[in-house]
Amino acid sequence: MTAETGAPDPQVATDHPVTGLDEVVHQRVRLGILTIAHEARRAEFGYLRSQLDLTAGNLSKHLSVLEAAGLIDVEKGYAGKRGRTWITLTAAGGTALSDEIRRLKQLIARVETTDLPEDG
Amino acid sequence: MTTDPVPAGADPRRLLSDVRTLAHRVRVDQRVTWFALLVLAAVTFVGIPFDYYFLVLRCVGDGTGCQFSRQGVLYYWPPALLLAYAAIAVCYLRVARARGVGARVLPYALTGVGLTVLFTAAWIAARMYFPTHPQQFPEWVLVLDRLIAPWGTIGVALLVLARLERNVGLLVFTLGYLTVALVPIDFGWHWQGRDDTAFLPQQIVNGTVLLLGAIGFALAGRRRR
């Protein structure tokens, strides 16, 4: 006889895409920053601000979180007399972004599978 | 956009859709396609007088057996294409920097330089070998010859640019351009009946297609902004 505890199967729990989501990346703005930095190779602070429709302070907070996690590099420089801040993706940032996208796709696949109407 | 972490019930489809939209916007902002096509059109048109003045045409007997040597191609096109690719790369980098993004143009410029070296080597080898070994070629060899000619290599390099930019419009344009460049266009038109102007229609058509492409992409870019 086996005792049924009703607890979730640990194997199933660890396999679920939600369990692998990184809280640093799984946030709409930070995911947007990583996406832009990945596509643009390097993105300027003002460009990120306009694309993500954020205030400078708000964007700075998100950049600090990503920089502290080692996902982006922030480089300050000048264009003429104007100060400019450039953001580049680190190797860890690239991996985190691709992992997040893969897990989102897995989530969608799982939702589509479970959403199928039952026959009979 | 919100600053809070995505709630557990957030729709992953929407997140992925946002990612795709942002990626597309960045790619569009990195493009200066019209400038690349404009430079290549200018290079094609400026090459016409070089081709004309350095064309050597030797006809024997009744004129049925003529030997062409387009020496202008070797004098003009290698340095012109190298300068063109350098100018395109510099322009892409400057424009992208001004817009606040990096550029993806380097693989295109390197492909263009590599193809220019390839065509130069092939044409020099052909010029050394074939005068002493004249022969008739099948049509597919002539198509290959046109593919590694300067106007063919321009198209092949543009395919790389279309891939880098994920630019479907440029891909369609380039396939059309390559069709025009690889299929010999000769309306039977020789200027004042002279054989040494037989290359003109093809080169004018190639340059015009590139110029029209530049205008089209410039207008499309302006409308988008």
How many structural domains is chain B composed of?
1
Q: Residue A78 pLDDT more than 90?
A: no
The average pLDDT across B150-177 equals 95
Rg (alpha carbons) of chain B, rounded to whole number:
22
Considering the domain boundaries, does residue B22 fall inside one? no
User: For all residues of chain A together, what is the average pLDDT?
Assistant: 81
Considering the domain boundaries, does residue B5 fall inside one? no
**Nearest CB to A42; choose among B16, B22, B102:** B102
**Range with the poorest average pLDDT among A7-16, A107-116, B14-23, B215-224:** A7-16
Can you tell me which residue has the tokens 């599978």? A113
Does B19 sit within 8 Å of A31, measured CB to CB? Answer: yes
CATH 1.10.10.10 fits A21-105, yes or no: yes
Asked if ipTM goes beyond 0.90, one says: no
> pLDDT > 90: what percent of chain B?
53
Considering the domain boundaries, does residue B53 fall inside one? yes
**Range with the poorest average pLDDT among A2-11, B30-39, B79-88, B116-125:** A2-11
Asked whether the beta carbons of B221 and B37 are under 8 A apart, the reply is no
Element (H, E) at B127: helix B106-129
Instruction: Residue A39: name the closest of B11, B21, B91 by CA.
Output: B21
pLDDT (0 to 100) of residue A81: 77
Considering the domain boundaries, does residue B213 fall inside one? yes
Quote the domain boundaries for residue B104.
29-224
Per-residue pLDDT reduced to its tens digit, A21-45: 777 888 889 999 999 999 999 999 9
Per-residue pLDDT reduced to its tens digit, A45-61: 999 999 999 999 999 99
Distance between CA atoms of B26 and B35, rounded to whole angstroms?
18
pLDDT (0 to 100) of residue B140: 78
Q: At CB < 8 A and 24+ separation, what contacts does B63-67 make?
A: B66/B195, B67/B131, B67/B134
Beta strands B55-60; B65-70: pairing state: antiparallel
The C-alpha of A118 sits at a distance from chain B's nearest C-alpha, in angstroms, of: 22
The average pLDDT across B124-128 equals 82
Q: A116 pLDDT band (50/70/90 cuts)?
A: low
Q: Residue B39 pLDDT more than 80?
A: yes
A69 lies within 8 A of chain B by CB: no
Distance between CA atoms of B167 and B174, rounded to whole angstroms?
11
Distance between CA atoms of A107 and B43, rounded to whole angstroms?
51
Task: Choose between B20 and B225: higher pLDDT.
Answer: B20
Token pair belonging to A53: 């429709």
Does B2 sit within 8 Å of A29, measured CB to CB? Answer: yes
Q: Name every chain B residue with its beta carbon within 8 A of the beta carbon of A41.
A: 101-104
> pLDDT > 90: what percent of chain A?
52
Q: Residue A74 pLDDT more than 50?
A: yes
Considering the domain boundaries, does residue B6 fall inside one? no
A107 lies within 8 A of chain B by CB: yes
Per-residue pLDDT reduced to its tens digit, B41-61: 999 999 988 887 877 766 666
Q: Residue B175 pLDDT more than 50?
A: yes
Considering the domain boundaries, does residue B13 fall inside one? no
Considering the domain boundaries, does residue B9 fall inside one? no
Q: Name every chain B residue with its beta carbon within 8 A of the beta carbon of A36.
A: 22-23, 26
- How far, CA to CA in Å, does A100 sit from each of A27, A39, B19? 10, 15, 11
> pLDDT > 70: what percent of chain B?
81
Sign, CA torsion B139/B145/B147/B151: negative
Asked whether the beta carbons of B129 and A77 are under 8 A apart, the reply is no
The C-alpha of A119 sits at a distance from chain B's nearest C-alpha, in angstroms, of: 26
